[in-house]
């Protein structure tokens, strides 16, 4: 009988220790999954990847304020190479146009990303583009667009 | 067979193929199978499955051609088939650049293999640079390559490896640069690669591209990003290339333009001969429009890895293979419709961009793009040919100077009488011969420069020592000039002796004559004087520069001439004019210093040829070409024809073929048919075939050089007793003959057309038929019609041009009187016709 009690005691102590260990691990484990460390390779990141939503939000904000920036003559929204390539950026977007971002199409490789946008307004029917942005000098800037054409 | 075993077998085969012919053994050495990290490339099979052998230079040695792959590459760079093109029409080529190089005479093609360390910066210890040095040092020490500088073809970083190896930074770099004769680079990042900047921006670790101002790199970034997105989960050929490229981006830091590694390298040393080749893609409707704005102009995206400026840096000859792509789907669709309706050539329609960046003009394909491989091959072939033998040709409408099997210089015009100057530096010929505006045209062997020397109506030209040429003007006066140009000397009147012929012609009132210069040797000239109205009489003289002359000959006009390579003797064919550019029948050999002459007369010439002891009626032996070989022997192209009086046909007895004069006897060398031969080296000769096509032939393998060729010439140079032509000798054909029954049948058929249409029956007597030299004769009874009346007669049939024809009989003697006939028919038939 005393031997049985000793076995029960050992089992209880073991269970308590296991529970304590589990609690400790639970307490030490991050509450939410942190972004994995970037790899030294080319990886195409998508909206569901950790950390991308914040980037998408920043680029969406940039895209949506493009018409106003164009109207103001604010060229800081364009990358340095784009500013060099296009002598006159005032006719980029028609006055009164709007830019809507399709966030599900976001793709990023390092400091270069793209997302599909729709430009509406002006005298023309809505047009869809792939907007390419680069992270340059600490902020996202527009590098170029590719029109999604239908022949 | 395991792979190493197969490789060993292949190497043994290479070694066997590379083994020099016995005749060259004394001077030759086979290229080693391995030299440091360089390996003699396995021979690539020909289209017919044959394995080509190594073909040495004239001296029996080889030029090592070292192929150096690039960063992260391997020797397979060079052995892939040439399947890419800058044009939409893709080549259908089974061979690789390596295989094509192996086909060049004189080339021993090696590949440098440093693939184990090819991912490392080449200048580091144990990396590509050291291995190149090791290989080159080994090649430089080989007997097989003595006298021939190494040619390097390098792809990508291989060009930087080569440049480093000849710089002062490399061990013995200064000595090495003198041993490398030529470098051809393909897509070498002399000023860095865009890969590094792409990596900086596209790697997952990249957080900021910085201020990227190069619009080409910016465009590439956009395009490659979009392609990476498109290629996700897709397995297309271009996607695979893109993925490989992406995998390499992390390790190319040293290739950043301006990196410390690049900055530490020095440029090509002065005097290095370098050709820079690269490909590039030009993007029309360029990447990165901006909403309503179209991107201005075109973008040169280089070969994606290396910008065009970087790959062609330096003041060197360059060649760029250009692919054109469009970014516009709409443009692509419109182009397709235009091509379909025939309003746009397919080659003018740019391909759509999608993955095109990683196809024809992509960096890794540069050794497989036909425009670039052709260029590289041409450069190397020119270099090898420049080490090969030199000769010249005169063809209808042009003169050409040939190096090995490539026409180095070509001049258009109608020329006669081409000759090399005595120093071999110039080729001279007469244009507009005999006209008031006639001129001697000279071509510099070194650079092809043409000089026109007005020659006052001259008809021929001769070398006059060193770089000088001589001609006779319309007045028959001797003029000399420098072949490089400039005014000629004051004309010198010839003082030709008043020979017995001269006196006799004067007595007959024949005073007009044409004086012509034929050859020059040791400052003396072979000159002939042909009397008008007596064209069968020509006198020959040796004339000095001051116009004084010695009589040589007064028998027959001067045909082909030849001067020994050392200029010690000359020979000329003489005789009666038989047909254009040929002479019948003697050959005279002259020692110009002693003005002595040896004649190989027509009987000896004929006797030495083929039909010793007899000659068919009317046979004409003609010397069409005469030359003194570098082996010191006199050679001639000789042919003969026989006139068949009963059919009025000319029958070829001896085809134009190559003969050598051994003492007083001509010996068959090559049965031909051919118009001319010049043995250039021990293994290489120039051959003009019967249709006038010129080939350079090495060890039996010919390369076509020109057509409608009338004459070939070689410059004077040191002799070589082993530079002797050879070929399939002329053999006496099996003589045609007729059995008695066939003779009776044939003679009866032919005779029925002879005897005024009467049907005759010819029957040979019991002695039967005697044949010799294409003749068949018998003593016969000829019966006329059905009368049964017959006469005895000899009948001789003649075989020519593939058929028998009636020759002669007792009553029909085309060969003249019996005594005359008896001199002309073969000796075995003479008893048949009762000749004495």
Whether the full predicted model's pTM is greater than 0.80, yes or no, is no
Cβ contact (<8 Å) for A149 and B211?
no
Q: Do B292 and A94 touch (CB under 8 A)?
A: yes
Mention every residue, 6+ apart, whose C-beta is less than 8 A from residue B662.
B633
> B212 and A136: CB-CB below 8 Å?
yes
Mean of pLDDT values over B380-398: 92
- Write down the pLDDT at residue B334: 66
pLDDT band at B536 (very low <50, low <70, confident <90, very high): low
The band of B266, judged by pLDDT with boundaries at 50, 70 and 90, is very high
Integer CA distances (angstroms), B835 to B115, B774, B794, in order: 88, 19, 11
> DSSP state, A45?
B
CA B653 vs. chain centroid, Å, equals 31
Kindly report which listed range (A113-122, B179-188, B319-328, B443-452) carries the lowest average pLDDT score: B319-328
Q: Is B485 helix (H, G, I), strand (E, B) or coil?
A: coil
- Of residues B802 and B729, the one with the higher pLDDT is B729
Burial of B745 (0-12, 13-18, 19+ CB in 10 A): middle
Q: What is the spatial order of strands in the sheet that B674-679 belongs to?
A: B674-679, B684-689, B694-698, B701-706
Pull the structure tokens for residue B798: 């003649």
Which pLDDT does position B616 carry in this prediction? Answer: 44
Task: Note which residues in 7-66 of chain A have CB less than 8 A from chain B.
Answer: 38-45
Report yes or no: B201 at the A interface, CB cutoff 8 Å.
yes
pLDDT average, residue stretch B741-758:
85
The span from the CA of B207 to the CA of B229, in Å, is 18
Least confident of A141-150, B45-54, B703-712, B793-802: B45-54
Query: What's the rounded Cα separation, in Å, for the pair B769 and B778?
Result: 5
| B607 compared with B637, residue with greater pLDDT | B637
CB-based contact, B338 to chain A, within 8 Å: no
Instruction: Judge whether residue B394 has pLDDT over 50.
Output: yes
Mean of pLDDT values over B707-715? 96
**Residue B754, pLDDT score:** 73
| Residue range B95-112: mean pLDDT, rounded | 93
| Radius of gyration (C-alpha) of chain B in whole angstroms | 36
B271 pLDDT tier (thresholds 50, 70, 90): very high
Residue B227 distance to chain A (closest CA, Å): 11
Mean pLDDT of all residues in B681-706: 92
In this predicted structure, the answer to whether residue A54 has a pLDDT above a threshold of 90 is: yes
Higher pLDDT, B388 or B330: B388
> What are the helix and strand counts (H, E) for chain A?
4, 4
Which H or E run includes B693?
none
E strands, B663-800, where? 665-670, 674-679, 684-689, 694-698, 701-706, 709-713, 760-764, 770-772, 775-784, 790-800
Residue contact A137–B229, C-beta within 8 A? no
pLDDT at B709: 97
Q: Which positions in chain A touch B228 (Cβ < 8 Å)?
A: 42, 44, 109
Residue A37 pLDDT: 66
Crossing angle of helices B237-248 and B215-230, in 10° steps, is 120
- pLDDT bracket for residue B618 (50, 70, 90): very low
Cα B494 from Cα B512, distance rounded (Å): 15
Res B448: pLDDT: 92
Tell which B residues from 241 to 300 touch A, by Cβ distance under 8 Å.
Answer: 246-247, 249-250, 287-293, 295-296
ipTM, interface predicted TM-score of the complex? 0.75
Q: Which of residues 687-706 of B touch A (CB under 8 A)?
A: none
Is residue B322 exposed (0-12), middle (13-18) or buried (19+ Cβ within 10 Å)? middle
- B288:A38 CB<8 A: no
Q: Identify the residue among A49, A77, A85 best suited for mutation to test binding to B, counting B beta carbons within 10 A and taking the highest.
A: A85
User: Which residue would you say has higher pLDDT here, A60 or B771?
Assistant: A60
- Give the whole-number percent of chain B exceeding pLDDT 70: 84
Confidence of residue B347 (pLDDT cuts 50, 70, 90): low
Judged by CB atoms closer than 8 Å, whether chains meet at A41 and B207 is answered as no
| Mean pLDDT value across residues B17-40 | 64
Nearest CA in chain B to A134: B209
Question: Would an 8 Å CB–CB cutoff place A85 in contact with chain B?
Answer: yes
Q: Cβ of A112 and B225 within 8 Å? A: yes
Residue ranges with strand state E in B567-633: 570-577, 583-591, 596-600, 620-628
Is A139 part of the contact surface with chain B (CB cutoff 8 Å)? no
Asked if residue B598 has pLDDT above 90, the reply is no
pLDDT at residue number A9: 53
pLDDT bucket at B813, cuts 50 / 70 / 90: low
Mean pLDDT confidence for A69-93: 89
pLDDT band at A13 (very low <50, low <70, confident <90, very high): low
CA distance A48 to chain B (A): 15
Whole-angstrom distance, CA of residue B438 vs CA of residue A136: 75
Q: Please report the pLDDT score of residue B566 as a whole number.
A: 72
Distances (CA, A) of B146 to B63, B64, B182, B823: 9, 10, 16, 62
CB B262 within 8 A of CB B255: yes
CB B311 within 8 A of CB B187: yes
Q: What is the pLDDT of residue A25?
A: 43
Contacts of A85 (CB under 8 A, 6+ apart): B215, B218, B288, B295, B296
pLDDT mean across residues, chain B: 83
Find the mean pLDDT for residues B139-168: 96
Confidence of residue B14 (pLDDT cuts 50, 70, 90): very low
- Number of A/B CB contacts below 8 angstroms equals 150
Which residues numbered 94-123 in A keep a CB inside 8 Å of some CB on B? 94, 107, 109-114, 119
- As a whole number of angstroms, the distance between CA B7 and CA B42 comes to 8
Q: Average pLDDT of B370-397? A: 93
* Residue B717 vs residue B438, higher pLDDT: B438
The mean pLDDT value for B315-332 works out to 81
Q: Is the pLDDT of residue B20 over 80?
A: no
Instruction: Judge whether residue B213 has pLDDT over 90.
Output: no
């Amino acid at each position: 009988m005393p031997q049985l009690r000793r076995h029960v005691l050992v089992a209880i102590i073991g269970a308590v220790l296991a529970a304590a260990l589990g609690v400790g691990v639970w307490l030490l484990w991050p509450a939410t999954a942190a972004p994995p460390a970037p790899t030294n390779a080319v990886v195409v990141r998508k909206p569901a990847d950790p950390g991308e939503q914040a980037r998408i939000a920043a680029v969406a904000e940039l895209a949506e304020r493009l018409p106003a920036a164009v109207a103001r003559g604010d060229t800081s929204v364009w990358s340095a190479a784009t500013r060099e390539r296009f002598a006159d950026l005032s006719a980029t977007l028609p006055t009164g146009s709007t830019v809507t971002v399709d966030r599900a199409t976001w793709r990023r490789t390092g400091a270069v990303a793209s997302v599909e946008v729709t430009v509406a307004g002006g005298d023309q029917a809505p047009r869809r583009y792939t907007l390419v942005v680069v992270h340059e000098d600490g902020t996202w800037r527009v590098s170029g667009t590719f029109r999604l054409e239908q022949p | 067979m395991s792979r190493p075993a197969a490789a060993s077998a292949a190497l043994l085969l290479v070694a066997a193929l590379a083994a020099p012919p016995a005749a060259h053994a004394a001077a030759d050495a086979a290229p080693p199978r391995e030299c440091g990290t360089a390996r003699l490339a396995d021979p690539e099979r020909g289209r017919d499955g044959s394995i080509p052998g190594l073909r040495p230079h004239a001296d029996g040695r080889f030029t090592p051609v070292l192929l150096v792959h690039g960063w992260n590459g391997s020797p397979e760079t060079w052995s892939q088939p040439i399947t890419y093109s800058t044009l939409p029409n893709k080549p259908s080529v089974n061979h690789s650049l390596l295989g094509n190089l192996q086909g060049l005479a004189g080339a021993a093609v090696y590949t440098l293999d440093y693939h184990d360390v090819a991912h490392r910066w080449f200048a580091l210890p144990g990396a590509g640079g050291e291995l190149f040095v090791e290989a080159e040092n080994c090649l430089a020490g080989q007997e097989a390559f003595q006298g021939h500088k190494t040619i390097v073809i390098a792809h990508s970083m291989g060009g930087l490896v080569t440049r480093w190896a000849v710089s002062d930074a490399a061990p013995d770099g200064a000595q090495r640069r003198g041993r490398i004769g030529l470098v051809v680079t393909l897509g070498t990042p002399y000023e860095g690669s865009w890969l590094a900047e792409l990596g900086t921006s596209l790697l997952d670790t990249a957080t900021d591209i910085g201020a990227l101002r190069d619009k080409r790199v910016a465009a590439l970034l956009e395009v490659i990003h979009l392609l990476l997105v498109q290629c996700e989960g897709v397995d297309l050929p271009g996607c695979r290339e893109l993925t490989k490229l992406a995998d390499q981006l992390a390790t190319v830091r040293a290739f950043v333009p301006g990196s410390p590694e690049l900055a530490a390298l020095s440029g090509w040393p002065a005097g290095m001969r370098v050709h820079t080749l690269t490909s590039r893609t030009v993007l029309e409707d360029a990447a990165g429009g901006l909403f309503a704005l179209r991107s201005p102009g075109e973008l040169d995206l280089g070969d994606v890895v290396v910008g065009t400026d970087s790959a062609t840096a330096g003041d060197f000859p360059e060649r760029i293979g250009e692919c054109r792509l469009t970014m516009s789907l709409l443009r692509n669709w419109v182009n397709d419709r235009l091509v379909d309706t025939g309003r746009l050539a397919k080659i003018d329609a740019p391909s759509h961009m999608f993955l095109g960046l990683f196809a024809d003009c992509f960096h890794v394909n540069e050794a497989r793009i036909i425009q670039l491989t052709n260029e590289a091959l041409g450069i190397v072939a020119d270099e090898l040919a420049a080490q090969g033998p030199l000769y010249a040709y005169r063809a209808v409408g042009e003169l050409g100077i040939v190096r090995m099997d490539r026409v180095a210089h070509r001049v258009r015009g109608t020329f006669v009488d081409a000759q090399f100057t005595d120093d071999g530096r110039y080729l001279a010929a007469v244009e507009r011969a005999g006209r008031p505006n006639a001129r001697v045209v000279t071509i510099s062997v070194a650079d092809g420069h043409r000089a026109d020397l007005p020659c006052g109506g001259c008809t021929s030209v001769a070398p006059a020592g060193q770089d000088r040429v001589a001609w006779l003007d319309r007045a028959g006066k001797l003029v000399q000039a420098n072949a490089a140009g400039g005014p000629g000397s004051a004309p010198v009147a010839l003082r030709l002796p008043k020979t017995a012929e001269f006196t006799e012609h004067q007595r007959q009132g024949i005073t007009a004559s044409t004086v012509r210069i034929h050859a020059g040797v040791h400052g003396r000239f072979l000159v002939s004087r042909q009397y008008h109205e007596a064209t069968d009489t020509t006198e020959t003289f040796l004339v000095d520069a001051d116009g004084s002359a010695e009589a040589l000959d007064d028998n027959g006009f001067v045909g082909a001439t030849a001067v020994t390579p050392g200029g010690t003797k000359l020979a000329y064919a003489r005789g009666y004019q038989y047909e254009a550019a040929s002479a019948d029948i003697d050959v005279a050999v002259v020692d110009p210093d002693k003005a002595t002459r040896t004649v190989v007369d027509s009987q000896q010439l004929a006797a030495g040829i083929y039909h010793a002891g007899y000659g068919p009626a009317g046979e004409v032996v003609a010397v069409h070409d005469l030359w003194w070989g570098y082996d010191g022997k006199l050679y001639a192209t000789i042919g003969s024809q026989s006139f068949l009086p009963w059919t009025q046909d000319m029958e070829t007895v001896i085809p134009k073929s190559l003969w050598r004069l051994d003492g007083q006897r001509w010996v068959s060398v090559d049965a031909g048919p051919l118009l001319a031969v010049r043995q250039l080296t021990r293994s290489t000769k120039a051959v003009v075939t019967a249709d006038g096509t010129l080939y350079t032939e090495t060890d039996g393998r010919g390369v076509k050089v020109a057509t409608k060729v009338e004459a070939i010439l070689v410059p004077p140079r040191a002799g070589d007793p082993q530079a002797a032509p050879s070929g399939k000798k002329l053999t006496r054909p099996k003589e045609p003959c007729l059995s008695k029954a066939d003779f009776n049948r044939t003679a009866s058929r032919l005779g029925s057309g002879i005897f005024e249409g009467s049907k005759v029956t010819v029957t040979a007597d019991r002695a039967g038929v005697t044949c010799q030299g294409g003749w068949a004769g018998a003593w016969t009874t000829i019966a006329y019609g059905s009368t049964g009346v017959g006469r005895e007669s000899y009948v001789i049939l003649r075989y020519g041009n593939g058929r028998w024809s009636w020759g002669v009989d007792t009553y029909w003697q085309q060969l003249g009187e019996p005594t005359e006939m008896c001199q002309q028919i073969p000796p075995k038939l003479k008893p048949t016709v009762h000749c004495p």
